Amino acid sequence: MSRYEFDQPGVSLAIGWDAPLSTFYLQIWNEALHTAEMDDEERASPQIWFGTEYAEHLSPSLLLTLARQHLPSLPEDIEESLMRDMVKEPARPLSADHAEIRLMLEALLGEGPSVMEAPQRTPDETARLEMEALLKGTTSETRRQ
């Protein structure tokens, strides 16, 4: 993972490459975007944050365009540095069970489908679990009591 930080009065930003998420990211803290309703924690968090999803930004170009709107003095060679970082630490593929884990986490956090919509056991898995329970002396019927 790489991270480049830049500051000027009222504006700070961080931009970099996140190999585990296979994305470039951008975080911007800009006092001009603060509102009276924000508490200290909200003011300390980035007001703009891109690159939190897997493979969200495979090129830094769009992020650099946005970054330069907030910090025009961004170095010209930053794109080359970011591309070198990506080559040095290539994107990582998602694990096979990533999608299922993500659905379960989203359901638990209330950010996605409800638990009822989360992946359910297959009939084979249910039968195997019932057989194991029978061998242990419990069944779904005895567990409900």
pLDDT tens digits for range 14-25: 999 999 999 999
Is the domain of 68 the same as that of 102? no
C-beta of residue 32 within 8 angstroms of C-beta of residue 38: no
Query: For the chain, what is the domain count?
Result: 2
**Average pLDDT of span 41-46:** 93
pLDDT tens digits for range 88-102: 999 988 776 777 787
Is the domain of 104 the same as that of 78? no
Is the domain of 22 the same as that of 72? yes
Owner of token pair 């969200």 = 56
What is the pLDDT at residue 105? Answer: 82
What is the pLDDT at residue 125? Answer: 61
What is the pLDDT at residue 59? Answer: 95
Note down the domain range covering 13: 4-88
**Which two three-digit tokens encode residue 141?**
């019927």
Is the domain of 12 the same as that of 73? yes
Alpha-carbon span 59 to 40, nearest angstrom? 33
In this structure, the strands spanning 23-30 and 11-18 are: antiparallel
What is the pLDDT at residue 83? Answer: 96
Above pLDDT 90, what percent of the chain?
57
Is the domain of 10 the same as that of 40? yes
pTM: 0.68
Does 37 score more than 90 pLDDT? yes
What is the pLDDT at residue 106? Answer: 81
C-beta of residue 30 within 8 angstroms of C-beta of residue 11: yes
Residue 45 lies in a domain: yes
Query: Greater confidence, 24 or 106?
Result: 24
